[in-house]
Amino acid sequence: MKEGLNLNYVASECFNSFYSPQSDLFSVGTVMYHLLFGMPPWFKDISKFKSDRTKAEDILIEERKKPILFPSVSEEIVDFDDSILKILKKSLQQDPENRFQSANEFIQCLNGEIEIEDVDTIQKVKSDNKDERKIKTQKAKGKGFDAIAGLDDLKKEMKRSVIDVLQDPEKAERYGAKIPNGMVLYGPPGCGKTFFAKHFAEEVGFNFMLATPSTLKSRYINATQENIAKMFEDAEKNAPTIIFIDEINELLPNRDSDSHEMAKSAVNEMLAQMDRTGEKGIFIIGATNYPDMIDPAMLRSGRLEKKFYLPPPDFKLRKALFEMSLNQRKKVLDFGIDYDRLSNLTENYVSSDIESIVNEATSMAMADDSRITIGLLEKVIKSFNPFPKEELRKYQTIKAKWMAKILNKKRTTTNWL
Residues 100-134 pLDDT 10s:
878 888 888 888 777 777 766 543 433 444 444 56
Alpha carbon 204 to its chain's center: 23
Model pLDDT, residue 134: 61
Give the pLDDT mean for 69-98.
Answer: 77
Please say if the pLDDT value at position 380 is more than 90.
yes
pLDDT per position as a tens digit, 237-265: 999 999 999 999 989 988 887 656 667 88
Q: Are 342 and 355 in contact (CB under 8 A)?
A: no
In the chain, the percentage of residues whose pLDDT exceeds 90 is 36
Give the pLDDT mean for 3-10.
Answer: 71
Give the pLDDT mean for 220-235.
Answer: 88
Model pLDDT, residue 14: 75
Please say if the pLDDT value at position 417 is more than 60.
no
CB count in 10 Å sphere of residue 394: 14
Model pLDDT, residue 401: 87
Angle at 104 between CA 101 and CA 107, to 5 degrees: 110
Question: How far apart, in whole angstroms, are the C-alpha atoms of residue 225 and residue 80?
Answer: 45
Model pLDDT, residue 123: 37
Closest to 145 (Cα-Cα) out of 308, 289, 300, 254: 308
Q: φ and ψ at 116, to 5 degrees? A: -110, 140
In the chain, the percentage of residues whose pLDDT exceeds 70 is 84
Name the more confident of 372 and 192.
372
Name the more confident of 290 and 101.
290
Model pLDDT, residue 407: 63
- What Cα–Cα distance (Å) separates residue 235 from each residue in 35, 47, 48, 241? 49, 44, 44, 6
Model pLDDT, residue 406: 63
Confidence grade of residue 90 (pLDDT, cut at 50, 70, 90): confident
3-state secondary structure the chain: CCCCCCHHHCCHHHHHCCCCHHHHHHHHHHHHHHHHHCCCCCCCCCHHHCCCHHHHHHHHHHHCCCCCCCCCCCCCCCCCCCHHHHHHHHHCCCCHHHCCCCHHHHHHHHCCCCCCCCHHHCCCCCCCCCCCCCCCEEECCCCHHHHCCCCHHHHHHHHHHHHHHHHCHHHHHHHCCCCCCEEEEECCCCCCHHHHHHHHHHHHCCEEEEECHHHHCCCCCCHHHHHHHHHHHHHHHCCCEEEEECCHHHHCECCCCCCCHHHHHHHHHHHHHCCCCHHHCEEEEEEECCHHHECHHHHCCCCCCEEEECCCCCHHHHHHHHHHHHHCCHHHECCCCCHHHHHHCCCCCCHHHHHHHHHHHHHHHHHHCCCECHHHHHHHHHCCCCCCHHHHHHHHHHHHHHHHHHHHHHHHHHHHC
CB count in 10 Å sphere of residue 293: 15
Question: How far apart, in whole angstroms, are the C-alpha atoms of residue 318 and residue 300?
Answer: 34
Model pLDDT, residue 414: 42
Q: Are 270 and 298 in contact (CB under 8 A)?
A: yes
- What Cα–Cα distance (Å) separates residue 21 from each residue in 14, 45, 103, 260, 367? 11, 26, 8, 20, 33
Model pLDDT, residue 259: 59
Please say if the pLDDT value at position 17 is more than 60.
no
DSSP state of 331: G
Model pLDDT, residue 415: 45
Model pLDDT, residue 124: 40
Q: Are 231 and 197 in contact (CB under 8 A)?
A: no
Confidence grade of residue 412 (pLDDT, cut at 50, 70, 90): low
Give the pLDDT mean for 196-208.
Answer: 90
- What Cα–Cα distance (Å) separates residue 4 from each residue in 11, 19, 315? 15, 18, 50
Q: φ and ψ at 333, to 5 degrees? A: -90, 135
Model pLDDT, residue 79: 67
Give the pLDDT mean for 73-94.
Answer: 77
Question: How far apart, in whole angstroms, are the C-alpha atoms of residue 374 and residue 336?
Answer: 8
Give the pLDDT mean for 146-156.
Answer: 88
- Read off the pTM: 0.64
CB count in 10 Å sphere of residue 285: 27
pLDDT per position as a tens digit, 343-353: 999 999 998 89
